[in-house]
Amino acid sequence: MRPQHLKALQALKQICHGSLDGAEIGSGEIWFQPGGGVEGGHYEWDIGTAGSTTLLAMTLLPAVCFSRGAISFKLSGGLFQDFAPSAYHMQYVLFPMLKGMGITAELKVIRPGYVPRGGGIIEVGVEPVGGKLKPINLPTQGKVTRIQGIALSSHLKERKVSQRMVEKCNEVLKSQGYRADIEIIHDDSALQRGAALALYAETSSGCIIGADRAGEPRRTSEEIGRSVAASLLEDLSTGATVDRYLADQLIFCAALADGVSQCRIPRL
Amino acid sequence: MTEHVETNLWLVSTILGARTEVDKNLVKIQGIGL
């Protein structure tokens, strides 16, 4: 168990007044007993490393959407990194898709955070569902109606990192007849240098299919732009109605919903 | 199918009792209506 996993369990225990045994860094087995329900309110948790804040938010989401009142939390840690959901994917893909299931959630990026220092901040607000979750029905992809995105870089304005990611990304998309409207953000608030590129495509059948990648030392802006565009095109080409990340994220809410949910996942 | 999808389908089936079905790339989940 890593610090972000531990913090997620501790946060879950706190909001539902449950009990938790065996949870420590390195644990291979834990015991968790839920308590008597989740109250609304405001909470703050700091992972203390660059561990993923979105992973923490994902852990809490199935519980907090059934809370007795509106709930908000401020999370500190990492926002953009490999092997974890990116804050932009959660904000522009996951949360809008959950809206159709009756979950009203919003995310604000207060400060970007990257590996290794972390220090990023997100704020998440969730309204109580007030009933049962609705199933999600996404049998067909439809046509792409719009592609948008965000090219974020921190303390890298002079290297034109955001612009270079956008240029390469649109160059690859153009080869398949697409073009993305990508907002360029030059950030100076993060604790360190970093970058992230996110795309999200809307389709005529109500799908939102995303792709994203964070920066890494020796990973060029052009490589990020190329790989994000390629990831989106690959998922679209399979006829999928959810992207490779959303596919597993929707499963928990679908399993709690009242009815049959269906979606087409990318064949990878 | 990614490992995450496979794992989560197993988890909701085992822990929550949700029925899941995968036919080629179409995933169906019968929710428990919590």
Helix (H/G/I), strand (E/B), else coil: B29: strand
pLDDT of residue A36: 84
Residue length, chain B?
34
Q: Do B8 and A238 touch (CB under 8 A)?
A: no
**CA closest to B23 among chain A residues:** A264
Q: Is B14 an 8 Å CB contact of chain A? A: no
CA atoms within 13 A on the CB side of A267: 8
For all residues of chain A together, what is the average pLDDT? 96
Interface ipTM: 0.97
Q: Do B31 and A257 touch (CB under 8 A)?
A: yes
Residue A92 has pLDDT above 60, yes or no: yes
B20 burial class (0-12, 13-18, 19+ CB within 10 angstroms)?
middle
A70 burial class (0-12, 13-18, 19+ CB within 10 angstroms)?
middle
| Among the partner residues A247, A256, A266, nearest to B32 by beta-carbon distance | A256
Model pTM score: 0.95
Q: What proportions of chain B, in percent to the nearest 5, are helix, strand and coil?
A: 40, 30, 30
CA distance A264 to chain B (A): 4
| Among the partner residues A247, A256, A261, nearest to B34 by beta-carbon distance | A256
Q: Is A247 an 8 Å CB contact of chain B? A: yes
Residue A59 has pLDDT above 80, yes or no: yes
Q: What is the count of residue pairs from A and B with beta carbons less than 8 Å apart?
A: 80
| Among the partner residues B1, B24, B31, nearest to A254 by beta-carbon distance | B31
**Tokens 């953000």 found at:** A185
pLDDT of residue A83: 87
Helix (H/G/I), strand (E/B), else coil: B2: coil
Using an 8 Å CB-CB cutoff, list chain B residues near A262: 26-29
The single-letter DSSP state of residue A82 is T
Which contacts of A214-223 are long-range, i.e. CB under 8 A and separated by 24 or more positions? Answer: A214/A80, A214/A81, A214/A82, A214/A86, A214/A114, A214/A115, A215/A80, A215/A114, A215/A153, A215/A161, A216/A82, A216/A115, A220/A164, A221/A159, A221/A160, A221/A161, A221/A162, A221/A164, A221/A165, A221/A168, A221/A195, A222/A164, A222/A165, A222/A168
pLDDT of residue B1: 64
pLDDT of residue A79: 97
Using an 8 Å CB-CB cutoff, list chain A residues near B29: 135, 251, 254-255, 257, 260-262
CA distance A139 to chain B (A): 8
Residue A268 has pLDDT above 80, yes or no: no
| Among the partner residues A251, A263, A264, nearest to B12 by beta-carbon distance | A251
The per-residue pLDDT for range B1-34, each reduced to its tens digit, is 678 999 999 999 999 999 999 999 999 999 999 9
Interface test with chain B among A67, A207, A256, A263, by most B beta carbons within 10 Å: A256
**Tokens 């179409």 found at:** B26
